[in-house]
């Protein structure tokens, strides 16, 4: 596939040059560009390795693997950003990941698929499960600490965040148990008669090797990337918010963008929605709370308190997506709607 070749070029050009540049102290501008290229390429490999491993492991363990490694890149970048004390960028990139997946990825998928097909369907059961979790994560678990923290001291705010983080992770695991064990089979669209058995791209051993290797390299490149952020702010006048919400979010989720849109054009809207919304839920219910807990061992702790623009953008995005996807159908105009909402928010964060 063309995309896979592109990812290969990205890795074999990006990574070596990042290494060389790190030793020779190349200008930050060039390093930023090289790191982005490298990470996009590497996340392509991580995605394919996870998928192959998921197929050979059967649906349950596979679902678990996808749910854990799906946002590995994002998690790694964030941990290094946290280590550098840039809590604001971490929260912004979580926001960006939520907005990017909900509005950009899903929007472009609906649009690209809708150009080719008049209506595309996906499971209503899945849509409902997702929308319940979206409201729980974004509207309850993110809004409550924001509002309550207005009349709390920082220590109490952190304690509330820790409590919420533990509950979010517990529910995320409970949700996997629900989806993969007690209510398996409920979540498939009735329209698809039967899908041919999938063949893994790589063997089990090769997949694990690539997964481990790519993860280690991503970690290294991420650390280099983080060091370029200050320059971006100084040079372009970009705020922490814009860097996090737009730049980090797009780079960290590039591989998902590609596969979601590819699936939509093949009329596998089920899979597209699963990638976009599933990835959002992973960020909100797994990556974000893990980062809150990880931050306890870092120089600066991170409470689950976003800025108001970040929070309001996520809440309105969630409401829009829930409304648009609740009927289990999509068309090009709904895609355009989501995309337009992303552009509005992008302008907002740029000007902020």
For a second copy, the binding residue among 27, 184, 267, 333 (CB under 8 A) is 333
Q: To the nearest whole angstrom, how small is the minimum distance from the Cβ of residue 177 to a second copy?
A: 8
For a second copy, the binding residue among 9, 61, 140, 216 (CB under 8 A) is 140
Helices (H) and strands (E) in the chain, counts: 18, 2
How far is residue 79 from each of residues 180, 226, 255, measured CA to CA in Å?
Answer: 29, 10, 20
Q: Is 313 near a second copy (CB under 8 A)?
A: yes
Q: To the nearest whole angstrom, how small is the minimum distance from the Cβ of residue 309 to a second copy?
A: 5
Output 119 or 204, the one with its CB closest to a second copy.
119
Q: Is 308 near a second copy (CB under 8 A)?
A: yes
Closest CA to 214 of 90, 47, 61, 64: 47
Q: Is 60 near a second copy (CB under 8 A)?
A: no
Q: Is 269 near a second copy (CB under 8 A)?
A: no
d(C-alpha 84, C-alpha 81), whole Å? 5
Closest CA to 166 of 16, 296, 334, 298: 296
Closest CA to 97 of 205, 223, 254: 254
CB-CB neighbours of 181 under 10 Å: 10
For a second copy, the binding residue among 2, 24, 151, 237 (CB under 8 A) is 151
Q: Is 132 near a second copy (CB under 8 A)?
A: yes
**Which pair of tokens denotes residue 40?**
């996009």
Q: To the nearest whole angstrom, how small is the minimum distance from the Cβ of residue 116 to a second copy?
A: 12
Q: Is 319 near a second copy (CB under 8 A)?
A: yes
Output 71 or 131, the one with its CB closest to a second copy.
131
d(C-alpha 89, C-alpha 248), whole Å? 9
Q: To the nearest whole angstrom, how small is the minimum distance from the Cβ of residue 292 to a second copy?
A: 13
Helix (H) or strand (E) holding 47: helix 28-56
For a second copy, the binding residue among 15, 86, 164, 226 (CB under 8 A) is 164
CB-CB neighbours of 326 under 10 Å: 13
Q: Is 141 near a second copy (CB under 8 A)?
A: yes
Which of the ranges 8-16, 33-41, 59-67, 147-155 carries the binding residues for a second copy, by CB under 8 A?
A: 147-155
Q: To the nearest whole angstrom, how small is the minimum distance from the Cβ of residue 185 to a second copy?
A: 11
d(C-alpha 3, C-alpha 262), whole Å? 10
Which residues are CB-contacts of 77 (< 8 A; sequence separation ≥ 6)?
39, 93, 218, 222, 225, 226, 248, 252
Residues that bind a second copy (CB under 8 A): 118, 128-129, 131-133, 135-136, 139-141, 143-145, 147-148, 150-152, 156, 159-160, 163-164, 167, 170-171, 174-175, 178, 182-183, 308-309, 312-313, 316-317, 319-320, 322-324, 327, 331-334, 336-337, 340-341, 343-345, 347-348, 351-352
């Amino acid at each position: 596939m063309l995309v896979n070749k592109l990812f290969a070029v990205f890795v074999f050009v990006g990574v070596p040059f990042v290494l060389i540049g790190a030793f020779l102290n190349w200008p930050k501008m060039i390093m930023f560009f090289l790191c982005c290229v490298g990470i996009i390429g590497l996340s392509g490999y991580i995605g394919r390795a996870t998928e192959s491993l998921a197929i050979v492991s059967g649906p349950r363990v596979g679902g678990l693997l996808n749910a854990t490694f799906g946002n590995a890149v994002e998690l790694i970048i964030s941990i290094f950003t946290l280590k550098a004390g840039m809590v604001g960028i971490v929260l912004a990139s979580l926001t960006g990941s939520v907005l990017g997946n909900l509005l950009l990825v899903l929007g472009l998928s609906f649009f690209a698929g809708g150009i080719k097909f008049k209506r595309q369907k996906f499971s209503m059961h899945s849509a409902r499960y997702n929308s319940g979790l979206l409201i729980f994560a974004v509207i309850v678990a993110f809004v409550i600490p924001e509002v309550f923290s207005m009349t709390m001291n920082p220590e109490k705010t952190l304690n509330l965040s820790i409590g919420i983080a533990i509950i979010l992770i517990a529910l995320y695991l409970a949700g996997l148990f629900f989806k993969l064990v007690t209510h398996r089979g409920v979540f498939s669209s009735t329209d698809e008669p039967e899908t041919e058995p999938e063949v893994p791209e790589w063997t089990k051993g090769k997949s694990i090797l690539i997964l481990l290797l790519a993860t280690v390299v991503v970690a290294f490149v991420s650390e280099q990337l983080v060091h370029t952020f200050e320059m971006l702010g100084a040079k372009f006048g970009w705020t922490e918010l814009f860097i996090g919400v737009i730049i980090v979010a797009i780079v960290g989720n590039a591989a998902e963008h590609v596969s979601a849109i590819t699936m939509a054009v093949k009329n596998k809207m089920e899979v597209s929605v699963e990638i976009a919304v599933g990835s959002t839920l992973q960020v909100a219910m797994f990556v974000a709370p893990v980062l809150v807990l990880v931050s306890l061992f870092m120089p600066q702790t991170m409470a689950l308190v976003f800025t108001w623009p970040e929070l309001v953008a996520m809440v309105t995005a969630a409401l829009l997506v829930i409304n648009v996807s609740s009927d289990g159908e999509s068309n090009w105009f709904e895609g355009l709607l989501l995309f337009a909402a992303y552009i509005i928010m992008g302008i907002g964060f740029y000007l902020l």
